[in-house]
Structure 1
Amino acid sequence: MAKDASNGSLYHPFNHARLLCSAIAILLIFAGITALVLYLIYRPARHHLTVLGAAIYHLSPAVSAAPTTAIATSMQFTVAIHNPNSRAAVQLDRLCSYVSYRDQPITPPASLPSVYQEADGTVIVSPVLGADMVPVSAEVEAGLMKDEAYGVVQLRLVITGRVKYRPGPFKSGWVGLYAKCDALVGVKKGTSGQVPLLGQPECNVET
Structure 2
Amino acid sequence: MTAKDCGHHDDDRKALQRRLWAAIVCSIIFILLLILLVWLILRPTKPHFILQDATVYAFNLTTPAATLTTVLQVTLSARNPNERIGIFYDRVDVYASYHGEQVTLATLLPATYQGHKDITVWSPFLHGESVPVAPYLAVSLDQDQFTGTVLINIRVKGSIRWKVGTFISGKYHLNVNCPAYINFGKKNNGISLGSPVKYQLIMDCNVDV
- The TM-score range, normalised by the shorter chain, is 0.7 to 0.9
Tell me which residue corresponds to 1:173.
Answer: 170
* Superimposed CA distance per residue, residues 43-66 of structure 1 (whole angstroms, 9 cap, x where no aligned partner): 211110011111111011247xxx
RMSD (Å), alpha carbons: 2.5
Tell me which residue corresponds to 2:199.
Answer: 195
* Superimposed CA distance per residue, residues 127-156 of structure 1 (whole angstroms, 9 cap, x where no aligned partner): 110142222112212222321232211111
Q: Distance in 1 between matches of 2:126 and 2:56?
A: 10
- The secondary structure found in structure 1 opposite 2:105 is coil
Kindly report which structure 2 residues correspond to 1:1-207, keeping only aligned pairs within 5 A, or say none.
37-62=37-62, 69-188=66-185, 189=188, 190=191, 192-197=196-201, 201-207=203-209
Structure 1 residue 97 displacement after superposition: 0.8
Larger Rg: 1
Structure 2 alignment gaps of length 5 or more: 1-29
Q: Distance in 2 between matches of 1:192 and 1:31?
A: 56
* Superimposed CA distance per residue, residues 164-192 of structure 1 (whole angstroms, 9 cap, x where no aligned partner): 11012321011111111122222244362
One-letter code of the match for 1:101? Y
Residue pair 1:110, 1:129 contacting (<8 A) in 2 also:
yes
Q: Distance in 1 between matches of 2:36 and 2:158?
A: 29
Structure 1 residue 79 displacement after superposition: 0.8
- Which segments of structure 1 move beyond 3 Å, counting only runs of 4 or more? 30-37, 188-191
Residue pair 1:186, 1:196 contacting (<8 A) in 2 also:
no
- The secondary structure found in structure 2 opposite 1:84 is coil
- The secondary structure found in structure 1 opposite 2:50 is strand
One-letter code of the match for 2:197? G
Worse-superposed segment, 118-127 or 130-139: 130-139
Q: Distance in 2 between matches of 1:196 and 1:121?
A: 23
How many residues matched?
174
Q: Distance in 2 between matches of 1:162 and 1:129?
A: 20
Structure 1 alignment gaps of length 5 or more: 1-29
* Superimposed CA distance per residue, residues 50-95 of structure 1 (whole angstroms, 9 cap, x where no aligned partner): 11111111011247xxx95221110121111111111011110111
Q: Which has the higher contact order (CA 8 A, sep 6+)?
A: 2
